[in-house]
Amino acid sequence: MHANLSPAVVISTLVMTTSALADCVTVHYRFFTRGDTATTNETMLSGDTCFHVLRNGPKFGNVFTNISIAQNPSHGTLTIGGAAFQYRSSQGYRGSDRYAVKICMEKPGGHGCSTVVFDASIH
């Protein structure tokens, strides 16, 4: 059973996000591509963008195969392109917003998807 958990830990470290702007901060999250759902928080200024880039782990055979929108935000826009996605809050809006992406990948033990929910706090 320990061998099955190790690849999941590797996957989770590959999917940490960092923002391109200092005004967007996302709490690191983990998911295991077993149909699970992970929830994380991010904080940003009104009108700013949070950029998220997924990094493949070829050393361990982990490759992201698809990202799709699972839930659109109510107070901003969500855009997906390649192995990246970005959320931009509506200019002038302050409050909370929520969006979700479905992330799929291939790994040595098979393939799977997870949904990551982002709770955004916009100032």
For 9-21, the pLDDT digits (tens) are 434 434 444 444 4
The segments of the chain whose pLDDT lies below 70 read: 1-22
Q: What does the pLDDT read at residue 17?
A: 44
* pLDDT, position 8: 43
Query: Looking at the whole model, is its pTM more than 0.85?
Result: no
The CATH number of the domain where 108 resides is what? 2.60.40
> How high is the pLDDT of residue 55?
86
CB distance 7 to 62 below 8 Å: yes
Question: What is the structure's pLDDT at 108?
Answer: 84
Question: By residue range, what is the domain housing residue 71?
Answer: 2-122
* DSSP-derived pairing of the beta strands 63-71 and 95-107: antiparallel
Q: Write down the pLDDT at residue 100.
A: 98
Total domain count, the chain:
1
State the DSSP H helix or E strand holding residue 2, giving kind and residue range, or none if neither.
helix 2-14
